[in-house]
Structures are given as C-alpha cells and as structure tokens.
Amino acid sequence: MRITNKYGLSRSRVNLAYHQMQRPTENILRATELIDAPRMRMLKLRHWDEIVIDCTDVGANSIYGSMKHLLVAGAVDSGYLSEVKLKWWTNEDIIEWISGTPDLYDKESQIIEDNKWTKTWKQVYRWEDDGDQFRDWEEQLNVYAWLLRKVMALDTNQLVINVSWMDWTAYRVDPNKNNYPQRPDERKIMSLWDNNKQQLYVLDRLHRHISATHKDNTPLPLCTATERWAKKDKWAVMKKGRKSALSVVLSEQNANEILEKTPEATSIEYRKGADKRCVDYCIVNQFCDYWRDTYAKD
C-alpha cells in the first residue's frame, strides 16, 4: 500500500495513516474481518501492494478511535482485562486462526466493553434492509464473547459499547426526537446472543471466508447490499413550493398512484440509489469488477 500526501500535511500525519492500515494475513481472520465482506478481504489480500490512498482518506474516526483505546487502556484498574489478544485455532487449512482483541473485560461483572469514536450518522441514519444500524457492533462483540469463552473459558454477562460521538453538537439535540444522541458520550448495551447462536454465526462466517479464498481470477462472492451500504432507487411525490417530499416510495408505479390520489401532489422526482461504500469508502473498489461495471463508466 502506498499512502500519498496530496495536501502537504505533516510527515507525522502520513505515518499515522500508515500505522492505521493493517495488512490482512491469509491464515488469520480478525474479528472485524470475519463480520465483514469476504470479497473485500480477498481483494485486499490480492492487491495490498497496489492500493494507493491519500492520508486524508484514512478516516479521523479510526485514528481518534485508536487514541481513545490507548488512553482508556492507560486508565483501567486491575479489575479489567485490557486489550487481551485472543486467537482460536480453526483446524482448517486456509484460515487457521480467528483472532480478536476486546478493549476491556470486567472480570467481576463479566462485561465486555468496547470503545468507539464515530460520527452521529451511525445513529441517525437507518439502513434500508432491516433498519439496524448497530448490527456490526453487536456482531463484533458477540464474536469477542465467543473468543473469550473458547480461548480463556470466560463467560460474558453483558456487551457494552462506550461510544463518543465525534461530530456531536448540543444545538442538534431535540428531546422529542430520540435518534440524535442526547449526550456526546453514551453507553450502549448490545444484544448478547446465546452460546449456540454465537457458535453458528462464527462458523458460518468462517466458512464464507474460506469458500471465497480462491486462487487469483476466480469470481468472488459479491458483497451483500448491507455490506455495500446500498440505497435503493426511490421515487418522491412532491408538492410545488415545498422542499420535502409528501411521500417517498420504492416504485414508480406506486408513486404515480399516490400522485393521482393526492390533490396537493404536483410531480414525481426520481432519486437514484447507490452503493455508498463502493463509491466513497471501499479502498479496493478499483480492483472490484462490480464497482468497475457499475460505477467506473460514470
């Protein structure tokens, strides 16, 4: 991977970006990779040395998140296990290990805590498929609970995310709307799955990654709509003189029916969907045939 510095930032900022980018390892599947798209991991494995990225595109949330980890790790007492590195032997040929490092494990209360530093869109924006914008956090922490049980025979009673909202501002808080965070720091309880569900989930994800681990040029499984952060095409029924839509639906036919039945409706506006991650955030999109076929021609 080559990190560029298009905007002339300091060398220390470039070094920080290098430090954040972790080269994947073929025989080790990290918890954060396990819950994510096999295609992305494989494209990183195949093309790591060809990836070019500017240091300003290595997100501040990931850099400040790491700083928060360091600060919290320095402030914990002896009742916690902090940043304990866990590795479980899979007994498979290609991916031999599953690894993970929970930020904190409270030995007495048996609570796993993970510290996140992220933007408020994570809470405000609702995904279209099932509306659960915290599913990745829930999956990650359940994988940690599974690893702690498998590697250290430790049980877990609760999963907690300590989130700091990096772009939080007091003026956007509205007590009548609970989707914008009420405070700059929050403690979120994630759903703890039973042992069986954790086991089935981890093994299913492991085998998806194993079956994607082919030699070069074998078609890779496409990232799912959720993994692509896909937004569907939509049709908005509009009223003249009003900025917001009267109604937003997923088919043109449905929009036409609403237009006919609603006296104040005056027009229909087409809103093209997109795969937000493919377009703006995937560092291997240039090596992905889906991105090339769908977006590179635009």
**Beta carbon of residue 41, minimum distance to ligand SF4 (angstroms, whole number):** 9
Using DSSP bridges, classify how beta strands 234-238 and 111-118 pair: parallel, antiparallel or unpaired. Answer: unpaired
CA–CA distance, 136 with 125 (Å, rounded to integer)? 14
CA dihedral 227, 89, 19, 168 (to 10 degrees): 50
Q: Does 290 bind ligand SF4 (CB under 6 A)?
A: yes
Q: Which of 29, 31, 34, 39 binds ligand SF4 (CB under 6 A)?
A: 39
Instruction: State CA 238 to chain mean position distance.
Output: 33
Structure-block tokens of residue 150: 């498998």
> How many other C-beta atoms can be found within 10 angstroms of the C-beta atom of residue 255?
24
CB under 6 A: which stretch of 11-19, 33-41, 139-147, 165-173 binds ligand SF4?
Answer: 33-41
CB of 193 to ligand SF4, least distance (A): 26
Dist CA 215 CA 55 (whole Å): 31
Residue 143 interacts with ligand SF4 (CB under 6 A)? no
Specify the stretch interacting with ligand SF4 by CB under 6 A; choose among 47-55, 132-140, 262-270, 275-283: 275-283
- Of 122, 85, 104, whose CA–CA distance to 159 is shortest? 104
Interaction between residue 42 and ligand SF4 (CB under 6 A): no
Residue 212 lies near ligand SF4 (rule: CB under 6 A)? no
Q: Establish if 43 lies at the interface with ligand SF4 (CB under 6 A).
A: yes
Name the residue nearer to ligand SF4 (CB basis): 30 or 228. Answer: 228
Give the tokens for residue 65.
Answer: 């998140």
- Cα 126 vs. chain centroid, distance in angstroms? 13
Q: Which are the contacts of 241, defined by CB distance < 8 A and separation ≥ 6? A: none
Binding segment (CB under 6 A) for ligand SF4, from list 27-35, 37-45, 176-184, 194-202: 37-45
**Nearest-approach distance from CB 213 to ligand SF4, in angstroms:** 15
Return the residue of 146, 168, 235, 291 that touches ligand SF4, per CB under 6 A: 291
278 binds ligand SF4 (CB under 6 A): yes
Q: Binding residues for ligand SF4, how many (CB under 6 A)?
A: 15
What is the rounded CA–CA span in Å between residue 216 and residue 258?
50
Applying CB under 6 A, does 228 fall inside the site for ligand SF4?
Answer: yes
Q: Which amino acid is at 70?
A: L
**CA gyration radius for the chain?**
22
Q: Determine, following the binding rule CB under 6 A, whether residue 213 of this chain makes contact with ligand SF4.
A: no
Task: Select from 40, 163, 245, 255 the one that contacts ligand SF4 (CB under 6 A).
Answer: 40
Site stretch for ligand SF4 (CB under 6 A), options 21-29, 193-201, 208-216, 285-293:
285-293
- Helix spans in the chain (H): 11-20, 31-34, 38-47, 60-75, 121-124, 135-152, 195-212, 252-261, 276, 289-291
Nearest to 58 by CA among 92, 120, 99, 16: 16
Q: Residue 209, interface with ligand SF4 (CB under 6 A)?
A: no
Whose Cβ is closer to ligand SF4: residue 37's or residue 202's?
Answer: 37
Q: Give me the residues that bind ligand SF4 (CB under 6 A), please.
A: 37, 39-40, 43, 223, 228, 275, 277-278, 282, 284-285, 288, 290-291
